[in-house]
Amino acid sequence: MPQPILLVCTVGGSHQPIVSAIEILKPDFVCFICTGRDPGTGRPGSEIQITGKDFCIKANFNDERPSLPNIPTQTGLDADRYEVRLCPADDLDAVFRVCYEALRELRTSDAEARVIADYTGGTKTMSAGLVAAALEVDGVELQLVTGNRADLIKVHDGWQSVGEASADELKLTRRMSPYLAAWTRYAYDEAALGLASLPRPRGSLAARLDRARVLSQAYAAWDRFEHGEALAKLQLYAAALPDELKSHIGVLLRLCGKEGDVKNEPARLLDLYRNAERRAAQGRYDDAVARIYRLLEWTAQWLLRRDFGVDTSAVPEDFVPPGLELSRTRDGKLQAGLFAAWELVGTKLDSEAAHFIREERESLRHHVHARNNSILAHGFTPIGREHWQALHDWLSERFLPMLLAESRKSGIRCLPPQLPSVYPFDLS
């Protein structure tokens, strides 16, 4: 059984393209998008070409009188095989609404049918409205009646042919754009899920969609500290990545370093700092501060482990300087929390980190106290933008220079770039 064809076409001043489309396609049903009587001049609109009685269409534009019947009569369309929907000639919103409703209703009426939108006839606004509507309804084909031209005015009668107007690329771009806009908020997971929900296009467009989806998944994995997954996915497109993103592969290689790699831990500390900045950019200041607390604690732990092999969860008795009291675990081991760990750094090291804690001890207490009063710690007060900004300023001016100075001793010379906030490939 042949596949049903449902045709939606805009009707303007020329009947020939509409007749050609119907004669070639032989649609099972036609929805004519027409203009009604002009409210200003009272002149009839294109509706007359469909519903006019007797002779209502001029065979040629310059003829004095109509000599042809309406389009349904010319093409043998019975009354139950077509409908007329009216729209204004130059109101794009109204035209779009009429066309969108027509296409959506036809698409849902028969899932197996071909729904074709022919935008040849009508005003420019009518054509634009039908095309825009066709891009919003899945499974609609675009079509144009065209042919050879003897001049710049029109295709001459008898020379017309029906041509598919490919809009797959335009449709894909329109559908991908809102999901890729999530990159501006570092919402890579949102982008990946949205792109995965899109219908798979044909040909080379499928590769374009796949690349956007995989790169979104890669940065989503990175954002949740799954660096191995992020590296594997980015390496799939390593050759095609722009230069500013190729460096990310090197960063991930350090983050995925093997045990004993001296670059691994400082790389992860700096990555955590960037992660906190992304949470703040999303307005999630409590999450950002929670990450910074971990960064402050982890940095002291790293320094003690790097320089002395001391784990703050089991500090040797003889390592504790006089006057510093550490708590004990249930099995009697000495453990050093954030402040105690930094006191050990200040006492035991002679380095940028020791100088930092001697100079910034009170500032550190102040910022940690604000964190302890937050909802994600021990209090009930959410962290606001002002507190985050003050903390970030302090980190940038005081803490980060120290951390970079210590990281350089392990071969990490600079802060890694922030993850991208713009999808790096042109969608066109």
For residues 67-91, b (16+ Cβ closer than 10 Å) or e, as one string?
Answer: ebebbbbbbebeeeebebeebbbee
Least confident segment among 39-48, 98-107, 155-164, 289-298: 155-164
State the Cα–Cα distance between residues 416 and 396, nearest whole angstrom. Answer: 14
Q: Within this chain, do residues 355 and 396 fall inside the same structural domain, yes or no?
A: yes
Q: Within this chain, do residues 242 and 281 fall inside the same structural domain, yes or no?
A: no
Q: What is the pLDDT of residue 380?
A: 67
pLDDT at 155 exceeding the cut of 70: no
- Mean pLDDT in residue range 321-336: 91
* pLDDT band, residue 376 (cuts 50/70/90): low
State the Cα–Cα distance between residues 378 and 376, nearest whole angstrom. Answer: 7
**DSSP per residue over 220-274, as a string?**
HHHHTT-HHHHHHHHHHTGGGS-HHHHHHHHHHHHHTPPTT-TTHHHHHHHHHHH
Q: Within this chain, do residues 207 and 249 fall inside the same structural domain, yes or no?
A: yes
Q: What is the pLDDT of residue 152?
A: 31
pLDDT at 82 exceeding the cut of 60: yes
Q: Within this chain, do residues 193 and 74 fall inside the same structural domain, yes or no?
A: no
- Mean pLDDT in residue range 122-146: 91
Residue corresponding to tokens 């002291």: 300
Indicate whether 426 belongs to any domain. Answer: no
Indicate whether 419 belongs to any domain. Answer: no
Half-sphere exposure of 359 (CA within 13 A, CB side): 11
Q: Within this chain, do residues 246 and 291 fall inside the same structural domain, yes or no?
A: no
Indicate whether 242 belongs to any domain. Answer: yes
Indicate whether 254 belongs to any domain. Answer: yes
Q: Is the dihedral of CA 107, 108, 112, 113 positive or negative?
A: negative
Q: Is the dihedral of CA 136, 140, 141, 143 positive or negative?
A: negative
* pLDDT band, residue 258 (cuts 50/70/90): confident
Q: What is the pLDDT of residue 50?
A: 95
Q: Is the dihedral of CA 274, 276, 280, 282 positive or negative?
A: positive
Q: What is the pLDDT of residue 148?
A: 42
- Mean pLDDT in residue range 12-41: 90
Residue 100: Cβ within 10 Å count: 18
Structural contact between residues 272 and 350, judged by C-beta atoms closer than 8 angstroms: no
Q: Within this chain, do residues 370 and 400 fall inside the same structural domain, yes or no?
A: yes
- Tokens for 297, please give them: 């604690």
- Written as one letter, the residue type at 334 is L
Q: Within this chain, do residues 232 and 374 fall inside the same structural domain, yes or no?
A: no
CATH label of the domain that carries residue 133: 3.40.50.10770
Indicate whether 176 belongs to any domain. Answer: yes
CB burial of residue 283 (10 Å; 0-12, 13-18, 19+): exposed
Answer with the residue of higher pLDDT: 17 or 150.
17
Indicate whether 420 belongs to any domain. Answer: no
CA nearest neighbour of 354 among 300, 391, 407: 300
Q: Which of 214, 230, 263 is the last residue of a domain?
A: 263
pLDDT at 281 exceeding the cut of 70: yes
For the stretch 157-169, pLDDT in tens is 544 566 666 677 8
CA nearest neighbour of 24 among 132, 158, 153: 158
Q: Within this chain, do residues 113 and 189 fall inside the same structural domain, yes or no?
A: no
Structural contact between residues 15 and 34, judged by C-beta atoms closer than 8 angstroms: no
Q: Within this chain, do residues 157 and 254 fall inside the same structural domain, yes or no?
A: no
Structural contact between residues 151 and 42, judged by C-beta atoms closer than 8 angstroms: no
What's the domain range around 323? Answer: 268-411
* pLDDT band, residue 149 (cuts 50/70/90): very low
* Max intra-chain CA distance, the chain: 113
pLDDT at 277 exceeding the cut of 80: yes
Q: Is the dihedral of CA 103, 107, 109, 113 positive or negative?
A: positive
Q: What is the pLDDT of residue 161?
A: 61
* pLDDT band, residue 378 (cuts 50/70/90): low
Q: Within this chain, do residues 283 and 398 fall inside the same structural domain, yes or no?
A: yes
CA nearest neighbour of 399 among 303, 297, 296, 281: 296
Q: What is the pLDDT of residue 153?
A: 37
Helix (H) or strand (E) holding 50: helix 48-51
Between the alpha carbon of residue 178 and those of residues 157, 172, 181, 193, 209, the distances in Å are: 43, 11, 5, 12, 13
Length of the chain (residues): 428
pLDDT at 6 exceeding the cut of 50: yes
Q: Which of 165, 195, 217 is the last residue of a domain?
A: 165
State the Cα–Cα distance between residues 250 and 341, nearest whole angstrom. Answer: 31
Answer with the residue of higher pLDDT: 184 or 383.
184
Q: What is the pLDDT of residue 204?
A: 83
pLDDT at 94 exceeding the cut of 50: yes
pLDDT at 330 exceeding the cut of 50: yes
Helix (H) or strand (E) holding 190: helix 188-196
Q: Within this chain, do residues 273 and 383 fall inside the same structural domain, yes or no?
A: yes
Indicate whether 416 belongs to any domain. Answer: no
- Mean pLDDT in residue range 115-133: 94
Indicate whether 248 belongs to any domain. Answer: yes
CB burial of residue 6 (10 Å; 0-12, 13-18, 19+): buried
Q: What is the pTM of this model?
A: 0.78
Q: Within this chain, do residues 17 and 156 fall inside the same structural domain, yes or no?
A: yes
Q: Which of 110, 142, 165 is the last residue of a domain?
A: 165
pLDDT at 368 exceeding the cut of 70: yes
* Total structural domains within the chain: 3
pLDDT at 211 exceeding the cut of 90: yes
- Tokens for 179, please give them: 């999901």
